[in-house]
Chains A and B, each alone.
Chain A
Amino acid sequence: MIKILNALIAVVGGVAGAILLYWLLNKLAELLPGRWEDRVKPYLFLLPALAAIGLYLVYPTIQTFVYSFANNRSTEFVGFENYAKLLTSKTFQNTLFNTFLWILIVPASVIAFGLLIATLADRLRPRGEKTAKTLIFLPLAIGAVSAGAIWKFVYATRPPGQNQIGLLNGIWTAFGGDPVNWLQISTLRFNSLLLMVMLLWMQAGFAMVLLSAAIKGVPTETLEAARLDGAGEGSIFFRIVIPQIRTTIITVFITVLIGVLKTFDIVYVMTNGNFNTNVIAVDFFNQLFTNRNNGFAAAIVVMLLIIMIPVLVFQVRQFRAEEAAR
C-alpha cells in the first residue's frame, strides 16, 4: 500500500512539478526583452521533452555505439573484434537467420490475415462486425507475457500414455498422433513458426482495424463503375481495392516489421532462444545478463539498428511527403 501511495505522490508530484516547471520556464522567457521572448520560448516549451529524449535515447545510442567497439566490461577498446567474433560464430549466424525468417514471414502474414478478416467482417451486419473485430483485436491488449502463458499451455506436452492437457496435443492425439514436444522441433524451424503464430495472433487485429478503415474509405462510385463494367468480386478486390489502400498496407507492414525486430518477450518467455529459436533481441538480453558481455550486447543492438536504417529512411521520407501535402 505504501507503494501505491508513493505512486500517487509521484503522479501528483510529477504533474505539479511539471506544471511548476513550465510556469517557471514561461516566466523566465517573459523576463527577456521583447523579441527575445518569442525567440526563446519555443525552445523552453520543448526543453523537458527534448531533455528526456536526449538523455534516454540519443545519448545512450551514441554510447552504445562506442561500447560496441569495447571489451565485455567496456574498459578497453577492441576495435571490430566484437562484430568479427559475432558474425563468424555459427550460433549468431543462426540467430540472424531466425530473425530474418521472422522479418520475412510475420509482417506479410499479419497483413494477409488482417485483409482477410477486414474484408469478411465488412460484409457482416454491424453487430456481428463489431463483435468479431473486438474478439480479434483483443490479444493486442493481452500483452506478450500473458500470451506466453496462454500459448505455452496450448503447446504443452504430456508423455505418451497420459492424458494430454495442451490443446494442440489434445487435437493431435485425438487424430491418432503421438504426443509431440512442439517447441523443441526445430526441423524446418517449425518451433520458430509456432512462436510467430503468437505474434500473428497479437497483431492481426491491429492490421485489421487500420485496413478495414482504409477499405471503407474506397469510394463507392469506383466500385460501382467497375461492377457495371462487369468486373468480378475478385478482380475488384485485387485491382481496385488493394491499389487504393496501398499506403495503409505499407504503414501496417512497417509497423509490424518494427515490432518484429524488437520481439523479445515472446521468445524469451517461450524458449529463451533455446532449440534453435533465438532472435536478435533475446540474444542481446542474454549476452548482457547471462554472459555479462557489454561489448557483444552493444554490437548486437548496433546491428539491429543497422538493419532498421532502411525503415528509418523510408519513415522520414514518408513523413516529409505527408507534411508537404498538409
Chain B
Amino acid sequence: MSGTQAVTATPVQVPKQPTATGSRRSRRLQHDPTARSPLWVRIVLALICAAWVIPTFGLAVTSFRQEDDAQTTGWWTIFTTPANFTRLTFQNYSDVFSQANMGDAFINSLAITIPATVIPILIAAFAGYAFSFMSFPGRDLLLILIVGLLVVPTQVALVPLLKFYGTIGLNGTLPAVWLTHIGFGMPLAVYIIRNYMATLPKEVIESAKIDGASHFQTFWRLILPMSTPVLASFAIFQFLWVWNDLLNALIFAGQNTPLTVALVRLLGQEGQGWQLLTAGGLFTMIVPIVVFLSLQRYFVRGLTAGSVKG
C-alpha cells in the first residue's frame, strides 16, 4: 500500500493485550457498554462510514452493469429505477479476462506474492532470535541500523538495482521481483519479529540451555512455535504490501504483469469504458480484502507489535 506500512519504533501506549478492532473490554471511557449511545454519535458515525464505503460500493455496482448503462447513467440510478436490476451482468468480468488479461495477471500476482511473503519469514526469524537471545559485539549498532532503515524510502535503491539486475540478466523475471521484495521487507520483518521475541520470557531459554539444548534446537523447538502470532502478522503485512505494490512491479516484473500493473494499464485507456475498469478494480482487490477480513486480528496485532512492552 503506497509504502505506508512502515511501522515506527515509537512506543505506543496500548493495553498489554493489544485490543483488536471492536474489543469487548468493559473499561471504556466512562460509558456503559450496554447503553445506547447518543443519537448524534450514531448519526455522525453512520455518515462517516457511508462516506468511506460508498465510493467502493459504486465501483462494485458499476462492475455488474452493462456497457451502455455504465457509460450513460450514474450507478446510483439503478436504485431509482429498480427495473435496471434485471440488467445486471457478469459480462464485464469475462471481458476483463479476455481483453485485459486479468486472469494471467491474477496468476502473476500470486506467483509474485507467495514466495515474496513466505521466504523472508524464516530469515527474519533467525535474525530476530540472534538479536533477542544472543549477545555479541555490535548488536545494538546493527539493531539501530535496521530501525533507521525502516524510514529509508526504498526508491533510493531502485537505480542501482536496475543496473545490477541488468548486468546479471535478471530484469523482467519473477526472481527479480521476489528478491527485491525480500530485501525491502527485511528491516520491517526483523524489527517486528525481534520486538516480539524480546517480550518472550528469558527463563524459557535459560532452562532450555540448562537442559543442554543448543541455540539451533531452542530456536526450532521453542522460539519459533512461540512466535507464530508475530510471524502471521508479518506475513499478512508483507502479503498485502506485495500484492498491492505497483512501483517494484512496474520496474522489475517485465512481462510478468501482476494485477496492479494490468489495472493501471486499463485505467490509462479510459476509452475501454468504466464497466471494465470497475470490474478490473474489484477483481484486483478481492484477494487482499478476503485476507484482511479473515486475518484482521493478526493484522491489528502486527500494527501494535512494535509497541507492546514486555
Contact = CB atoms under 8 A, between A and B. Distances in A.
Contacts of A15: 118-119, 122
Contacts of B274: 153, 156, 165
Contacts of B233: none
B6 interface: yes
Given A7-B110, A18-B123, A312-B148, A151 B247 contact: no
A201 B174 contact: no
B144 A217 contact: no
Contact of B277 (A55, A149, A203, A294): A149
B281 A150 contact: yes
Given A213-B304, A264-B246, A134 B284 contact: no
B41 A124 contact: yes
A297 to B, nearest CB: 6
Q: Is the interface of A mostly helix, strand, loop or mixed?
A: helix
A209 B302 CA distance: 11
A125 B10 contact: no
A312 to B, nearest CB: 5
Contact of B53 (A61, A63, A127, A135): A135
Contacts of A217: 13-15
Contact of B11 (A22, A131, A143, A322): A322
Contacts of B214: 26, 30
B82 interface: no
Contacts of A289: 251
A19 B62 CA distance: 48
A281 B159 contact: no
A23 B214 CA distance: 12
Given A124-B45, A150-B281, A64 B139 contact: no
Interface string B136-170: 10011010111111111111111111111000000
* Most chain A beta carbons < 10 A, residue from B160, B285, B291: B160
B67 to A, nearest CB: 12
Contacts of A18: 119, 122-123
B244 interface: yes
A153 B278 contact: yes
A173 to B, nearest CB: 10
B6 A318 contact: no
Nearest to A40: B136
B159 A294 contact: yes
Nearest to A199: B2
Contacts of A239: none
Interface in A110-152: 116-117, 119-146, 148-152
A147 to B, nearest CB: 9
Nearest to B287: A141
Contacts of A74: 159, 163
Interface string B198-229: 10000000000000001110000000000000
A21 to B, nearest CB: 9
B174 A136 contact: no
Contact of A4 (B111, B127, B183, B184): B111
Nearest to B122: A18
A104 interface: no
B21 A125 contact: no
A139 B288 CA distance: 10
A202 B2 contact: yes
Interface stretch (A81-89, A90-98, A185-193, A253-261): A253-261
Interface of A: 1, 3-4, 6-8, 10-11, 14-15, 18-19, 22-23, 26, 30, 39, 41-43, 45-46, 48-50, 52-53, 55-61, 63-64, 67, 74, 116-117, 119-146, 148-154, 156, 162-167, 170, 199, 201-204, 206, 209-210, 212-218, 220, 223-224, 227, 241, 244-245, 247-248, 250-251, 254-256, 258-259, 261-266, 268-269, 281, 284-285, 288-289, 294, 297-298, 301-302, 304-305, 308, 311-312, 315-316, 318-323, 325-326
The 7 A-B pairs at the shortest CB distance, nearest first, are namely A56-B183, A130-B22, A143-B244, A149-B281, A259-B4, A262-B3, A141-B292
Interface of B: 1-15, 18-19, 21-25, 27-31, 33-38, 41-42, 44-45, 48-49, 52-56, 58-59, 62, 70-77, 107-108, 110-112, 114-115, 118-120, 122-124, 126-127, 129-131, 134-136, 139-140, 142, 144-164, 174-175, 178-180, 182-184, 186-187, 189-190, 198, 214-216, 240, 243-244, 246-247, 250-251, 256, 260, 263-264, 267, 274, 277-278, 280-282, 284-285, 288-289, 291-293, 296, 300, 303-304, 307, 309-310
